[in-house]
Structure 1
Amino acid sequence: MRIVLFTHPAFLASQSMPRFAQMLRHAYTARGHEVQVWSPPARVRRWVRGPLSKWAGYVDQYLLFPLWVRRQLARVPEDTLFVMTDQALGPWVPLLRGRPLVVHVHDLLALRSALGEIPENRTGLSGRVYQRYIRRGFQQARHFICISQRTREDLRRVGGVDPLSCEVVYNGLNQRFARIPAAQARVQLRGAGMPVAPGGLLLHVSGGQWYKNVAGVLRLYAHYARAQRHPLPLWLVGVPQTEAVQAVLREVPTQGTVHFLYGIDHALLQAAYSVSRAFLFPSLAEGFGWPIVEAQACGCPVFTTDDTPMNEIGGPHTFYLRRLRHGEDEQAWAAEGARLIEAVINETPADAQARAQTCMAWARRFDADRAIGQYLQVYGQVLAGQQVSLNADMARTPA
């Protein structure tokens, strides 16, 4: 296949979407497909600094880049498949009217926030306008691949999409995660100067975004630590120490220990998952929930929110906490969750080992090669359908 991937411009701060696009490019090329990547260069934005740089970026993305795309389309064969690697690239969809196109949909949290569905994340006027602009674009596509059932439901419900096809393909881990023997993992972590307690640790991994509910993680730990004489330490990996985080940190009793860790590479993260007694991930929302699968692949039991897509991704072997509602008494919620965490930490070694095995078995279904194969299958079906449609149009055309 000839495939053109539309991606976010390199000058944006996003990391996950460029990684996803590069993963697709490498995987498709390795399978013998001809792949191009189209992305707006920083023509205007490179000359603008400060608050106006965002608007200069919009000029590059939505004024100059479409002009370049229209010129390129005249040179691209008709049997080329176009792929939007993120539904947030929706404003470019109308450029490809009549061409075979598939849109990858990751999550619609920004749109849901703009529509007032998520009170924990209010959106300003410009953000609401921008999300509607994106939606008007991707609504014109007809073929979609969603990362979860929840995303597919949201695409129809808040996205207002009436697709010809809309497949769910779960993300595959783009890095290998596997359980490391505990002794080996401790040596590895201590060699990097990381404070590993003999009994293990509790772990949370995130960038501290609003939906990660870091305050909830700290309150869960505070309630757990109050009931223990020697509580396990909590590691917060990648979490910024904001004023809000520092305020909740004061609720942790003196016998508790919280470590903030940064710059941890893949090998050290895998080791941390492997010695962790529980992974705390009580998100208010998620697009997919990568860390859930990463922890499970390392045999670590996961505590997350009993809401989609977390309970869809976590499966039957995950421990679920009820979703913390806006304005709810967080202390009662945390006390309830802490009791469940304590029970799991105190289970027998045999039960812990059995649980690790079931977690690892579940995580194996999130395989990158499987996901790539499913993407390409959808692409082939879209191309075949486009060809059938073109042949039908030709047959109806008078000689």
Structure 2
Amino acid sequence: MLWSMHIVFFSHPSFLGSQSMPRFTRMLATGMERHGHLVEVWTPRPRLYRLVPVNLSRWLGYVDQFIIFPIEVRKRLKRCSPDTLFVFTDNGLGPWVPLVAKRHHVIHCHDFLAQLSALGKIPVNQVSWTGRLYQAYIRWGYTRGSHFISVSHETRKELHKLLKKLPVFSEVVYNGLNGNFRTQDVIEARAKLGDLTGLDLTNGYILHVGGNEWYKNRQGVLEIYNAWRKLSRKQLPLLLIGNAPSLHLIKAHSESPFKNDMHWLSNINDDSLQKAYAGAEVLLFPSIAEGFGWPIAEAMACGCPVITTRKAPMTEVAGEAGFFIPIYPTEEGGIAHWSLEAANVVEEVLSLSPDNRERQIQLGLRNARRFDQEQTITHIEKIYTSIVAPHISQNYSIPINAES
């Protein structure tokens, strides 16, 4: 390590229940500490949030974030040296960017799906007038920034469309795998996951990992599974790991003739998730949109073949190791054809010979190495250094994991 920086990470408040963004912040913070840098994490505290009933807490949470916290930040800035680097771990933290826009800063961009929805560019995801105002406030903030790191080329493309002018710096660094995702003994992984869930997983299963957000397309997962069961002689169960299903998903589940083989698994810890990947016959990930698509890389790192949507950034992450299906249709009349086409891809993957399956697994393992966490941290460190001390970074050569 040639240059020790003082890095302040701005992070989403944990009291709002977000898991992925605080986890991303921890990955960055611990990585930079490991490299010898002085690190602080600044995040709002729930001063008012916990004082009222749940139905009002959201609004007082906004007061904590956008009125009280900025006052605290202005006070803290007085003790920060001019060469401090301020890092926003998500573009959703845009309202805080103007506080340090004239100082060294960089904004990590994950996705702009909420932004595009608020602008009416994603008709399937309607946004209320208050949501549109909130997203406009976020956009007002991050457009004051000048340095950006995007998790995919697709995210960077959307960023440049939303900015008023081209930024001073904008580069892509793919996410690094945040956890011990690796191959395991398949039989053992299935047995342990079966013990945990009370299910017979001896012969394998089809896996989906994701939440109830519209773009995760859990509805499409159920439709593909229904279509596959109708055409196949195989009878593998479907495991859906993530949040408890929404009401419309519960209804779709209850109407399926194969509902007894569909299983929702919530509150699964990291170790069990890794076993779920390792024991699955295939990960079914038909997302409509993503900023990156963590489960694709995680599954491949665990030796699990992946079926995903033929659309960036899913194609970026899966590379040549993925099996691809068309994007979910916007017309209701096209869903049956889409689900049948996808079901045939599921059958293709499940019918691979042992040798061909092993070749596909090896392709996935090689692809997953692009998302090595230490390589990601080192690449990001180089960018941070180039912002604070360009003369230092000129001779600081490292391998990188994505084209700029």
Where on the TM-score scale, by shorter chain, does this alignment land: which range? over 0.9
The residue aligned with 1:126 is 130
Give the equivalent residue in structure 2 for 1:135. 139
Asked if 1:271 corresponds to 2:275, the answer is yes
Cα distance in structure 2, aligned partners of 1:157 and 1:24:
27
Gaps of 5+ in 1: 388-399
TM-score (norm 2): 0.91
Alignment-mate amino acid for residue 111 of structure 2 = D
C-alpha deviation, 1:250, in angstroms: 4.3
Structure 1 counterpart of 2:401: none
Mapped pair 1:171 → 2:164? no
1:343 to 323, 345, 348: 348
Partner of 1:233: 237
Please list, as runs of the form range in 1=range in 2, the aligned pairs for 1:29-68 lying within 5 A after superposition: 29-68=33-72
Secondary structure class of the residue paired with 1:166 = strand
Which one of 154, 160, 166 corresponds to residue 162 of structure 1?
166
Deviates more, 1:189-198 or 1:240-249: 189-198
Matching residue of 2:402? none
Moved more, 176-185 or 264-273: 264-273
The 5 A counterparts of 1:7-18 are: 7-18=11-22
* Bigger shift: residues 319-328 or 373-382: 319-328
Cα distance in structure 1, aligned partners of 2:210 and 2:47: 33
DSSP 3-state at the match of 2:13: coil
- Return the offset for 1:207: 1.9
Higher gyration radius (CA): 1
Selected match of 2:360 from 337, 355, 364? 355
**Deviation (angstroms), 1:327:** 2.3
Instruction: Evaluate the alpha carbon distance shift between residue 241 and residue 100 of structure 1 in structure 2; reply closer, same or farther with a 3 A threshold.
Output: closer
What do the CA deviations read for 1:260-294 (whole angstroms, capped 9, x no partner)? 22232222222222221111110111121111111
Which residue of structure 2 lines up, in the alignment, with residue 332 of structure 1? 337
**Contact conserved, 2:95 with 2:141, CA < 8 A, in 1?**
yes
* 2:85 paired with 1:81: yes
Aligned to 1:382: 387
- Give, in whole Å, the separation in 1 of the partners of 2:37 and 2:198: 44
> How far apart are residue 50 of structure 1 and its match?
3.6
- Kept in 2: contact 1:231–1:255 (CA 8 A): no
Contact 2:205 2:239 in 1 (8 A): yes
* Contact 1:233-1:257 at 8 Å conserved across structures: yes
CA spacing shift, 1:77–1:352, aligned 2, 3 Å: same
Q: State the 4+ residue runs in structure 1 displaced beyond 6 angstroms.
A: none
For residues 43 and 12 of structure 2, the distance between their equivalents in structure 1, rounded to whole angstroms, comes to 6
Say whether 1:93 aligns with 2:97. Answer: yes
Is the aligned partner of 1:366 residue 2:371? yes
**How many pairs are equivalent?**
388
Using the TM superposition, give the Cα deviation of residue 161 of structure 1 relative to its aligned residue in structure 2, in angstroms: 4.7
Instruction: Give the superposition deviation at 1:2.
Output: 0.6
Q: Indicate the residue corresponding to 1:390 in structure 2.
A: none
The one-letter code sitting in structure 1 at the alignment partner of 2:367 is W
Q: Is the 8 A contact 2:191 2:201 kept in 1?
A: no
Alignment-derived partner of residue 396 in structure 2: none
Q: CA offsets per residue over residues 241-262 of structure 1, 9 Å max, x none?
A: 3331133224533597212222
Task: Please say if residues 103 and 143 of structure 1, whose CA atoms lie closer than 8 Å, have aligned partners that are also in contact.
Answer: yes
Q: Distance in 2 between matches of 1:182 and 1:324?
A: 31
Moved more, 106-115 or 35-44: 35-44
Query: What do residues 72-97 of structure 1 show as CA deviations (whole Å, max 9, x unaligned)?
Result: 21221111111111111111111113
Distance 2:138 2:197 in 1: 45
Distance 1:303 1:85, change over 3 A: same
2:322 corresponding residue in structure 1: 318
Distance 1:254 1:59 in 2: 47
Specify the code of the residue in structure 1 equivalent to 2:284: L
1:246 aligns with 2:250: yes
Contact 1:172 1:370 in 2 (8 A): yes
Deviates more, 1:359-368 or 1:17-26: 17-26
Query: Partners in 1 of 2:259 and 2:160 — Cα distance?
Result: 49
Gaps of 5+ in 2: 393-404
Q: In 1, Cα distance between the equivalents of 2:53 and 2:76?
A: 30
Check whether the contact 2:253–2:259 (CA below 8 A) recurs between aligned residues: no
**Cα distance change of structure 1 residues 315 and 2 upon mapping to structure 2, 3 Å threshold:** same
